[in-house]
Structure 1
């Protein structure tokens, strides 16, 4: 009897208490995360390239 009540409460919470995001909000969030991930990877690539150049110049003396 306790298990039936537990699963009934799970069902009620899942279908009646949770508020799901709208599809357009999910799409916009996905686009923003993708954009900033690409931007951050390009930025870090540039910083890494700069430091490699700097270390090569410092240790080639």
Structure 2
């Protein structure tokens, strides 16, 4: 296979065969991912604080 043919096929696949998401869908999923990332980070912070408290209580006897 020639390099020119390969790059032409890649270009054709990229611009004509791929279905890109609509702008509204992209915004919605970005907001959802951001919300769950913030929620998960707060939740894991709370779990971390709880285990630090528990370990300090167990080893301070």
Q: Same fold (TM over 0.5)?
A: yes
Aligned to 2:52: 52
The count of aligned residue pairs is: 61
| Ranges of 4+ aligned residues in structure 1 off by more than 6 Å | none
After TM superposition, the score normalised by the length of structure 2 is 0.89
* Deviation for aligned residue 1:3: 2.2
Q: Which runs of 5+ in 1 are unaligned?
A: none
- Report the TM-score when normalising by structure 1: 0.89
Q: Write out per-residue CA displacement over residues 20-52 of structure 1, whole angstroms, 9 at most, x where no aligned residue.
A: 011111111110110000000100111110111
